[in-house]
């Protein structure tokens, strides 16, 4: 089975995320056995950020890494498990609220595709980049 990174690389619509993970030096970590739950914003999600936001982050890998770690949870959680938990702690340290009232929402993002299985975890695709706070 492909790893989380393989899934992002081989699917269309994740080129910004892949570039960001590379810039932050997190490729190796996301290829490790994990397992991880990754909330993966697609290219449209990154495009919604105001101009300059991604540029500043890419120039500063530790800061970019921190934002990306907010999208990763240690452990493998399916949609149903996440909704039942209501909140999970990100690798960044801040909590990620989950809502299942209407569909499947992760903080202020809607999950476009859930439960994509990987060798070292699971991926849920988001329509927004989520931020701590």
Partner 1 sequence: MVQAVNRPAIPESQHPYADIIHRLEAGGSMLPDTPENLMQIIGIYKAYAVPMDFYWRDLLYIAEKVFLNPVPAFKYFISKEYLDRPNSYAGDSADLRIWRGEADAHPELREFMARGETGKLPKLAHHLWHDRVNMEFAEACMRAMLWHQGMGGRFYDYLESDEYVANADRAIKAYFKGNPAMLGLYKLFPTMFLEKVRELSYYANLGLFWEVMAPVFFEMSDLYDEGKMTTVPEAMDFLVNGIFAVAGRPIYHHLYIGDECIEIIPKSAGFTWLYEAALPYVEAVFYRTAPFRGTKSYNAQAGQVPEQQKDFHYGILYADVFPVGTAGIPPTLLMQDMLHFLPDYLREYYDEHCRGDDDILIQLGITFQRSMYNVTSAVIQALRGALLYPLDDPNPRHRQANRQFFESQMDRFLRPEARLRDIQRRDYR
Q: Which positions touch partner 1 (CB under 8 A)?
A: 49-53, 55-57, 59-60, 62-67, 93, 101-102, 107-108, 131-133
For partner 1, the closer of residues 33 and 62 by Cβ is: 62
Minimum gap (Å) between residue 78 Cβ and partner 1: 24
Using left for φ > 0, alpha for ψ between -120 and 50, and beta otherwise, residue 93 falls in left
Q: Is 62 exposed, middle or buried (0-12, 13-18, 19+ CB in 10 A)?
A: exposed
- What is the sign of the dihedral through the CA atoms of 109, 104, 43 and 41? positive
Between vectors from CA 38 to CA 32 and to CA 41, what angle results, nearest 5°? 130
Nearer to partner 1, 66 or 124 (CB): 66
Q: Which CB sits closer to partner 1, 33 or 101? A: 101
Could you tell me the smallest distance in angstroms from the CB atom of residue 96 to partner 1? 12
Q: Is the peptide bond before 71 cis (omega within 30 degrees of 0)?
A: no
Looking at the Cβ atoms of 63 and 87, the one nearer to partner 1 is: 63
- CA-to-CA separations, 5 to 1, 81, 83, in angstroms, rounded: 12, 23, 24
The nearest distance, CB 28 to partner 1, in angstroms, is 17
Least distance to partner 1 from the beta carbon of 101, Å? 7
């Amino acid at each position: 089975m492909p790893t989380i990174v393989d899934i992002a690389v081989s699917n269309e619509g994740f080129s910004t995320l892949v570039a960001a993970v590379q810039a932050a030096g997190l490729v190796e970590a996301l290829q490790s056995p994990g397992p991880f739950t990754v909330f993966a914003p697609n290219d449209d999600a990154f495009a919604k950020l105001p101009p300059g936001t991604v540029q500043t982050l890419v120039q500063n890998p530790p800061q970019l890494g921190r934002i990306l770690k907010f999208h990763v949870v240690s452990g493998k959680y399916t949609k149903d498990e996440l909704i039942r938990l209501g909140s999970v702690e990100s690798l960044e340290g801040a909590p990620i609220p989950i809502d299942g009232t209407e569909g499947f929402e992760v903080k202020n993002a809607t999950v476009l595709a859930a439960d994509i299985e990987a060798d070292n975890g699971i991926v849920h695709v988001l329509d927004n980049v989520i931020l701590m706070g």
